[in-house]
């Protein structure tokens, strides 16, 4: 089926990788194209593939080529692939770093299968997925780092009122159709505003757009935490 979400998995722990494949293979809407034992193996298979995956789930700590360096390579060579970072190290520095280089979701290895499936679905539908804890880390990490606030002094009229409304709802992780319903506009109009926001902020994806919004204090998410 063409509407299946295609996936590749990279993890050097064979037992964990096989277990993850077993879980995902039970889902009819998912299609695992291939798996890899480390970053080097993943890049080799990606470069040789006739069809690249929509989503890659990659461990961060791997031999030869780790998940951080692999993510950088993938974003450079295959910018449309969405990367979910998977790790045992669920800490603020790791999360901020992975998001800054292009990961669109972050999962701890002890996450439930349900959360894993939710994350894949959300990433495929919206382009990114950050749960409450990750959003809190992003918020704290950016607002507490003065160096990363260097872009915060700009003309507040740069964005239209509607663009700000759309941006706020994107940051709340609403889908295009949900945003359209909230604002009583068409999904196509939402797409237009989203594309304008990406151009104006020079963001490569929606994850980058969320980071930009928090970094420049365009949204206030503190009430959620």
User: 103-152, pLDDT tens digit by residue?
Assistant: 899 888 888 999 999 999 999 988 889 877 777 777 776 555 544 444 44
Q: What is the pLDDT of residues 61-82, one digit of tens each?
A: 898 898 889 999 999 999 999 9
From the centroid of its chain, how far is CA 9?
15
Strand duo 105-108 + 5-10: pairing: unpaired
Is 55 in contact with 103 (CB distance < 8 Å)? no
Mean pLDDT of all residues in 38-57: 96
Host H or E run for residue 75: helix 67-77
- Identify whether residues 104 and 147 lie together within a single domain: no
Q: What is the pLDDT of residues 123-136, one digit of tens each?
A: 998 888 987 777 77
What is residue 153's predicted lDDT score, i.e. its pLDDT? 44
What is residue 225's predicted lDDT score, i.e. its pLDDT? 37
Host H or E run for residue 92: helix 92-101
Q: How far apart are CA 9 and CA 99, in angstroms?
A: 18
CATH of the domain at 170: 1.10.10.10
Q: What is the pLDDT of residues 180-220, one digit of tens each?
A: 999 999 999 999 999 999 888 888 788 778 878 877 777 76
Q: Would residue 70 count as lying in a domain?
A: yes
- Identify whether residues 123 and 15 lie together within a single domain: yes
- Is the pLDDT reported for residue 87 higher than 50? yes
- Identify whether residues 77 and 168 lie together within a single domain: no
96: which 2 tokens?
């901020």
Q: Would residue 214 count as lying in a domain?
A: yes
Higher pLDDT, 156 or 32: 32
Q: Helices (H) and strands (E) in the chain — how many of each?
A: 10, 5
What is residue 30's predicted lDDT score, i.e. its pLDDT? 96
Out of 129, 161, 177, a domain closes at 129
Domain that holds residue 160: 141-224
- Identify whether residues 73 and 106 lie together within a single domain: yes
Determine if the pTM surpasses 0.95: no
Q: How far apart are CA 70 and CA 64, in angstroms?
A: 10
Confidence of residue 2 (pLDDT cuts 50, 70, 90): low
C-alpha dihedral (69, 74, 75, 76), degrees to nearest 10: 90
C-alpha dihedral (154, 225, 170, 98), degrees to nearest 10: 80
- Is the pLDDT reported for residue 18 higher than 90? yes
- Identify whether residues 62 and 116 lie together within a single domain: yes
- Identify whether residues 148 and 98 lie together within a single domain: no
């Amino acid at each position: 089926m063409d509407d299946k979400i295609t996936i590749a998995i990279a993890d050097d722990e064979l037992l964990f990788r096989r277990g993850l494949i077993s879980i995902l293979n039970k889902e009819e809407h998912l299609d695992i194209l291939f798996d890899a034992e480390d970053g080097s193996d993943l890049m080799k298979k990606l470069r040789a593939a006739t069809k690249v995956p929509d989503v890659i789930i990659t461990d961060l700590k791997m031999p030869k080529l780790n998940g951080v360096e692999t993510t950088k390579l993938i974003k450079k060579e295959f910018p449309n692939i969405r990367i979910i970072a998977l790790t045992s190290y669920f800490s603020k520095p790791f999360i901020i770093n992975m998001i800054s280089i292009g990961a669109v979701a972050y999962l701890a290895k002890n996450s439930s299968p349900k959360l894993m499936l939710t994350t894949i679905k959300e990433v495929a539908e919206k382009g990114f997925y950050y749960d409450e804890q990750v959003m809190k880390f992003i918020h704290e990490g950016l607002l507490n780092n003065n160096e990363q606030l260097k872009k915060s002094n700009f003309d507040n009229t740069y964005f239209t009122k509607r663009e700000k409304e759309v941006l706020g709802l994107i940051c709340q992780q609403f889908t295009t159709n949900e945003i359209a319903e909230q604002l009583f506009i068409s999904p196509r109009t939402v797409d237009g505003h989203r594309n304008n926001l990406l151009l104006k902020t020079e963001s490569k994806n929606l994850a980058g757009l969320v980071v930009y919004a928090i970094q420049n204090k365009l949204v206030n998410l503190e009430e959620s935490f």
